[in-house]
Amino acid sequence: MSDASDAVVPSVAAEVEKKQSPEVVKGEPQPVQRSVAEIESDMDATRARLADTLNELKVATQPKNILHRQTQKVKDFYVDEYGAVRIDHVAITVGVVVGVIVLRKTWRRITD
Protein backbone atom coordinates (compact mmCIF):
# COMPACT_ATOMS: atom_id res chain seq x y z
CA MET A 1 0.00 0.00 0.00
CA SER A 2 2.85 2.35 0.71
CA ASP A 3 4.35 1.37 -2.64
CA ALA A 4 1.31 2.79 -4.49
CA SER A 5 1.45 6.11 -2.65
CA ASP A 6 5.21 6.37 -3.29
CA ALA A 7 4.60 5.79 -6.99
CA VAL A 8 2.04 8.61 -7.16
CA VAL A 9 4.12 11.22 -5.36
CA PRO A 10 7.03 11.32 -7.85
CA SER A 11 4.66 11.76 -10.80
CA VAL A 12 2.88 14.63 -9.02
CA ALA A 13 6.23 16.22 -8.22
CA ALA A 14 7.25 15.93 -11.86
CA GLU A 15 4.00 17.63 -12.97
CA VAL A 16 4.55 20.50 -10.53
CA GLU A 17 8.15 20.87 -11.68
CA LYS A 18 7.03 21.02 -15.34
CA LYS A 19 4.53 23.79 -14.59
CA GLN A 20 7.07 25.85 -12.67
CA SER A 21 9.81 25.70 -15.27
CA PRO A 22 9.50 28.37 -17.99
CA GLU A 23 8.44 27.07 -21.36
CA VAL A 24 10.69 27.97 -24.24
CA VAL A 25 9.01 27.96 -27.61
CA LYS A 26 11.50 27.33 -30.35
CA GLY A 27 11.04 28.90 -33.73
CA GLU A 28 9.08 31.89 -32.38
CA PRO A 29 10.06 35.04 -34.27
CA GLN A 30 11.99 37.65 -32.37
CA PRO A 31 10.69 41.24 -32.32
CA VAL A 32 11.71 43.09 -35.44
CA GLN A 33 14.01 46.04 -34.91
CA ARG A 34 12.42 49.11 -36.46
CA SER A 35 14.25 52.12 -37.74
CA VAL A 36 13.67 55.64 -36.49
CA ALA A 37 12.00 56.54 -39.78
CA GLU A 38 9.53 53.65 -39.44
CA ILE A 39 8.67 54.65 -35.88
CA GLU A 40 8.20 58.28 -36.93
CA SER A 41 5.94 57.28 -39.81
CA ASP A 42 3.84 55.14 -37.43
CA MET A 43 3.59 58.10 -35.07
CA ASP A 44 2.51 60.39 -37.93
CA ALA A 45 -0.14 57.89 -39.00
CA THR A 46 -1.38 57.64 -35.43
CA ARG A 47 -1.53 61.43 -35.14
CA ALA A 48 -3.53 61.63 -38.38
CA ARG A 49 -6.01 59.00 -37.14
CA LEU A 50 -6.33 60.85 -33.82
CA ALA A 51 -6.96 64.15 -35.63
CA ASP A 52 -9.66 62.51 -37.76
CA THR A 53 -11.29 61.02 -34.68
CA LEU A 54 -11.26 64.38 -32.90
CA ASN A 55 -12.82 66.06 -35.94
CA GLU A 56 -15.57 63.42 -36.02
CA LEU A 57 -16.24 63.97 -32.32
CA LYS A 58 -16.31 67.74 -32.83
CA VAL A 59 -18.91 67.40 -35.58
CA ALA A 60 -20.97 64.86 -33.61
CA THR A 61 -21.14 67.06 -30.51
CA GLN A 62 -22.22 70.27 -32.21
CA PRO A 63 -25.58 71.38 -30.77
CA LYS A 64 -27.31 71.45 -34.17
CA ASN A 65 -26.24 67.87 -34.87
CA ILE A 66 -27.36 66.69 -31.43
CA LEU A 67 -30.71 68.42 -31.97
CA HIS A 68 -31.08 66.77 -35.39
CA ARG A 69 -30.34 63.29 -33.98
CA GLN A 70 -32.77 63.71 -31.09
CA THR A 71 -35.49 65.08 -33.36
CA GLN A 72 -35.01 62.11 -35.67
CA LYS A 73 -35.34 59.71 -32.72
CA VAL A 74 -38.67 61.30 -31.74
CA LYS A 75 -39.93 61.15 -35.33
CA ASP A 76 -38.87 57.51 -35.58
CA PHE A 77 -40.79 56.76 -32.38
CA TYR A 78 -44.06 58.23 -33.69
CA VAL A 79 -43.76 57.36 -37.40
CA ASP A 80 -43.07 53.89 -38.79
CA GLU A 81 -40.75 53.07 -41.69
CA TYR A 82 -43.61 53.51 -44.19
CA GLY A 83 -44.50 57.04 -43.02
CA ALA A 84 -47.64 56.07 -41.14
CA VAL A 85 -48.29 57.38 -37.62
CA ARG A 86 -47.89 54.79 -34.89
CA ILE A 87 -51.24 55.15 -33.17
CA ASP A 88 -50.21 52.99 -30.21
CA HIS A 89 -47.24 55.23 -29.40
CA VAL A 90 -49.36 58.37 -29.75
CA ALA A 91 -52.05 56.86 -27.48
CA ILE A 92 -49.48 55.96 -24.83
CA THR A 93 -48.06 59.49 -24.88
CA VAL A 94 -51.50 61.09 -24.64
CA GLY A 95 -52.38 58.76 -21.78
CA VAL A 96 -49.24 59.67 -19.87
CA VAL A 97 -49.78 63.42 -20.39
CA VAL A 98 -53.43 63.22 -19.29
CA GLY A 99 -52.44 61.10 -16.29
CA VAL A 100 -49.81 63.62 -15.19
CA ILE A 101 -52.29 66.52 -15.53
CA VAL A 102 -54.94 64.67 -13.51
CA LEU A 103 -52.39 63.69 -10.88
CA ARG A 104 -51.16 67.29 -10.50
CA LYS A 105 -54.69 68.69 -10.19
CA THR A 106 -55.62 66.02 -7.67
CA TRP A 107 -52.46 66.63 -5.69
CA ARG A 108 -53.15 70.39 -5.59
CA ARG A 109 -56.71 69.80 -4.33
CA ILE A 110 -55.44 67.49 -1.60
CA THR A 111 -52.63 69.79 -0.43
CA ASP A 112 -54.61 73.08 -0.60
16-73 pLDDT tens trace: 455 554 455 566 766 778 899 999 999 999 999 999 999 999 999 999 999 999 999 9
Nearest to 92 by CA among 77, 107, 102, 80: 77
- Residues whose CB is less than 8 angstroms from the CB of residue 78 and which lie 6 or more positions away in sequence, other chains included: 85, 86, 89, 90, 93
pLDDT band at 112 (very low <50, low <70, confident <90, very high): confident
pLDDT of 77: 94
Q: What is the mean pLDDT of residues 63-87?
A: 95
Whether the pLDDT of residue 89 is over 70: the answer is yes
Whether the pLDDT of residue 1 is over 50: the answer is no
| Local structure of 65: helix, strand or coil | helix
pLDDT of 24: 52
Indicate whether this model's pTM tops 0.75: no
- Residues whose CB is less than 8 angstroms from the CB of residue 59 and which lie 6 or more positions away in sequence, other chains included: 65
Give burial (CB, 10 Å; 0-12/13-18/19+) of 79.
middle
Least confident residue range of 3-7, 71-75, 100-104: 3-7
Angle (CA) 105-110-112 rounded to 5° is 90
